Structure 1
Amino acid sequence: MTRTVDLNADMGESFGPWVMGTDAELLRVVTSANVACGFHAGDWDVMATTMREAVASGTGIGAHPGFPDLQGFGRRRMDLPHGSLRNLVRYQLGAARAMAAAEGGTVRHLKLHGMLANMASADAAMARACYQGALDVDPDIIVMVLAATAQQDAVEALGCNWAGEIFADRAYNDDATLVDRSQPGAVIHDPELAGRRMVEMVAAGAIVTESGKRIPAAVDTICLHGDGKTALDIARSVKAALEADGVTLKPFAGRVGKVSVQG
């Protein structure tokens, strides 16, 4: 049986004359792009350029909404009512869809950013509010979730299209959430290590935590953060390692409802 997986990267995070990441190069490696929508990073010009380059490269386009927190890059906690979260996601997805359409593309998936994603990974009601906002705009959109967390509980309950995500450059706690960035070893900078970890997790169909615990998971897509100094090297290493192990890289198709995974 052919094994397939998607590689995704967060991008479009530059702002005005300030450049973050190597988006053009990453688009030649990944199969899906999560484009910042202007709230935690990015602006209208950056969005347009990123969408245009994604269309040209044939990369799947996703909206990447976050908290309204440009100074903190969307990584600071915020307390917003669920109704406001729903509107927050609607607003940003609407902008992404408009920009993609103007450049001849389509937004096919949505992924929450930063602290918004981290909080939703531990709070299914919060995740559901965010995802319902996206579904209000596009009932067919594929919601990318942190596999085996409350985010997955939310999409399974909603019955919407979704894809399970694991991270190549982040360490995991035993509850499948990400180790806080303030902790040593939370972010992985070694490209070779990242490649080995992803081969192991894809083969096992499981998240491997820092303690060595294996958590069976829906491994549909692998995230490669675009803002780190070694991001491009990690992306290339992960791609090469997976292909050498016989894994085919292509955009995820999405799934619906609950899924049974084997460890």
Structure 2
Amino acid sequence: MIEGFNAAAFVAATLAEDLGGAVSVEGDVTAMAAIPETATLSAVLAARQPLTPAGLPLMPVFFQALDPDCHCESLAPDGVPVAAGTWLFHVRGRARALLAAERAALNTLQHLSGIATLTRRHVEAIAGTGATLLDTRKTLPGLRLLEKYAVRMGGGTNHRLGLFDAPMVKDNHIAAAGSVTAAVAACKAAGLANITVEVDRLDQIEEALAAGADRLLLDNMDVATLKAAVALVAGRVPTEASGGVSLETIRAIAETGVTFISVGRITQSAPAADIGMDDAP
């Protein structure tokens, strides 16, 4: 599903957390006590609100970890918005196993679909402006690859994965290095390319460009200042607006002419999508 992501290991760790340390139906004390060993269940995962699903390819991994013989069928693709009431996934198998896996599977699907759904709303809010929505590194520890996948399913674009794959000179780097010029020069001396430099004042722009910045991150600027910054840059490098972006403000920010808008809240603060597991024929 995701390059570099070990779905089996993730699912095993998530189930073990819920089942007392082992990936075993016996960890669900309620299911073991209340449900006959031979009972079967047919169920669907259903959208209870309009949403953009993300994470459906993980659902067979969850359920088959506890019932390898269960039948699994995706009824909707990731990344395509659906209406409330839409059936997303069907599973049929041993009742104890499916119910033991239910919460872990739903937690994952609800979280990722919440990110995709909120991302889609931001993308739609800037449609036609030419600006591109980016995510950030504001992700839950251990879930970055999954959350960035969900952003893509919502129509957003991934920013750098971490500190390792793209240089970004931020205010603390500048303070420690002594100046924008010194920080950028040190990055170039280390052989780094495609350097983004964060600026939060208009008077930093020319210094950053003269130092060799390949992209400017315009941090926490209001709309008027962003317009002035874009005019000063005059297309010499791409620009990225960041900080304090919301659904209410993103359209005005996009209309300033910035190339990118990075939004931490699409991963950091997305509410879980309302998805439930219901009996099915």
The TM-score normalised by the length of structure 2 is 0.33
The TM-score normalised by the length of structure 1 is 0.35
Higher gyration radius (CA): 2
